[in-house]
Structure 1
Amino acid sequence: MTGPRDDHPQGTPGVLGLILAAGHSRRFGGDKRLADFSGQTLLAATTLALQPHVASVTVILRHGERPEALGLPADTDVVQAPSTPIGIGVSLAAAVSELLASTEPRHQQGEALALMLGDMPRVRADTLHKLVAQARHDLIVRPCHQGIPGHPVVFGRRFWPALADLDGDEGARKLLKRHQQQVVMLAVDDPGILNDVDTPADLPSPQ
């Protein structure tokens, strides 16, 4: 399924944000979440980029981590990944399971979930706004730049139980393939949806 829907109200408050930040940065050579990105940690920069466009942001951290140690406010909503490093699918499933079980009204009323990688602060504000504006409970919205799909991906609530059932280290890739007919590809002029930070060379040059 391609092409955006134009009848959605702008700035949907029912979209929740979930940032995946429990990985181990092996290609980076250190904890990239702490890398400096324009005066703040990389993870904080990504979180601040998403925050204005969603009703709330939850960050998946490694087991036992505290948000303030990563440059985030102490009151940041956090889900702890399992103590055994058994893949992004398991961490994602644990986080979505917590959201589904939550009794907080903002979680219960959530219509969609924007999944964002913790090392992608370059996604533009207008791109995030457009993605959120297309959210539906029964759709998956994914941005693409010059025909290449990127992140974040917005999953309607219909797909949350399937996200909560993921395992292994493949994330939501199989889910996207299984539900191709419900995927809206949103074309954007924004290379930031493809630009994650894998090595120190991917960071902005010091001023």
Structure 2
Amino acid sequence: MHDDPAILILAAGAARRMRGADKLLQVIDGEAQLTRIARAACRTGWRVLVALPPDRPDRAAAIAGLGAEAIPVPDAASGMAASIRAGVAAAGTARLLMVLPADMPELGHADLAKVATVALAAPNRITRATAADGTPGHPVVFPAKILPALSRLTGDEGARAILADRRDTINAVALPGTRATLDLDTPEDWAAWSATRGSPAPGR
């Protein structure tokens, strides 16, 4: 249905700190990170939108065949807000929109499903995942009434100001460890994280 909840995966960033590598195509348990997170999102049963830069067919190929919808972001270089605006436009009248950065390698289906369940039970509130210690993280689920504000965002701040203005009305969902907060931005980050892993990515 047109008002079905949706997940927006933010995958249009340039990842400049990777110095030529692409963190979204880093291989985890045999598949690219972007493939892994898109697959996990599709398993929730929510409609999945993936914001992509216009000049990266390799990223588009990474989500091919999963059931996710590629959303081109021609002005991706202007910052994260461009991806959010494109995603909101594509989501239409979705009653809920989960915003999910594509570069979080410890998030899996179980985590997304847990956040989705809480959001569905309180569809008029923002739902935000936190680390086990309560540190705010991702994903964040926005109700339909917030989408117009998301569509007016500019620059690279994302929805930080919107969340700050509504901090007292956000439902927090604690996820294990640092799954909701860990992202890896440099080759050194990826090497260090890979070296400490002794088991497959959680929540698959």
TM-score range, shorter chain: 0.7 to 0.9
Q: Which residue of 1 aligns with 2:165?
A: 178
Match of 1:71 among 47, 59, 62: 62
Q: Which residue of 1 aligns with 2:43?
A: 52
Change (3 A) 1:67 1:133: farther
Q: Which moved more, 1:163-172 or 1:47-56?
A: 47-56
Distance, in Å, in 2 between the alignment partners of 1:183 and 1:51 is 25
Deviation at 1:49? 2.0
Distance, in Å, in 1 between the alignment partners of 2:55 and 2:16 is 19
Q: Which moved more, 1:61-70 or 1:15-24?
A: 61-70
Change (3 A) 1:143 1:155: same
Aligned residue pairs total 187
Deviation at 1:191? 1.7
Q: Does 1:141 align with 2:127?
A: yes
Contact 1:144 1:187 in 2 (8 A): yes
Q: Which residue of 2 aligns with 1:164?
A: 151
Contact 1:138 1:159 in 2 (8 A): no
Q: Which residue of 2 aligns with 1:40?
A: 31
* Matches for 1:7-156 after TM superposition, within 5 Å: 14-29=4-19, 30-66=21-57, 69-73=60-64, 76-83=68-75, 85-100=77-92, 108=93, 110-135=94-119, 136-145=122-131, 146-156=133-143
Q: Secondary structure at the match of 2:12?
A: coil
- CA deviation profile, 1:84-113 (whole Å, cap 9, x unmatched): 61111122112212322xxxxxxx4x3211
Q: Secondary structure at the match of 1:129?
A: helix
Deviation at 1:197? 1.9
Distance, in Å, in 1 between the alignment partners of 2:60 and 2:160 is 30
Deviation at 1:200? 2.6
Q: Write 1 or 2 for the structure with the bigger share of helix.
A: 2
Distance, in Å, in 1 between the alignment partners of 2:136 and 2:59 is 32
Contact 2:128 2:137 in 1 (8 A): yes
| Percent identical residues | 30
Distance, in Å, in 1 between the alignment partners of 2:44 and 2:77 is 30
- RMSD of the TM alignment (CA)? 2.4
Contact 1:134 1:141 in 2 (8 A): yes
TM-score (norm 1): 0.80
Q: Which residue of 2 aligns with 1:5?
A: none
Change (3 A) 1:69 1:58: closer
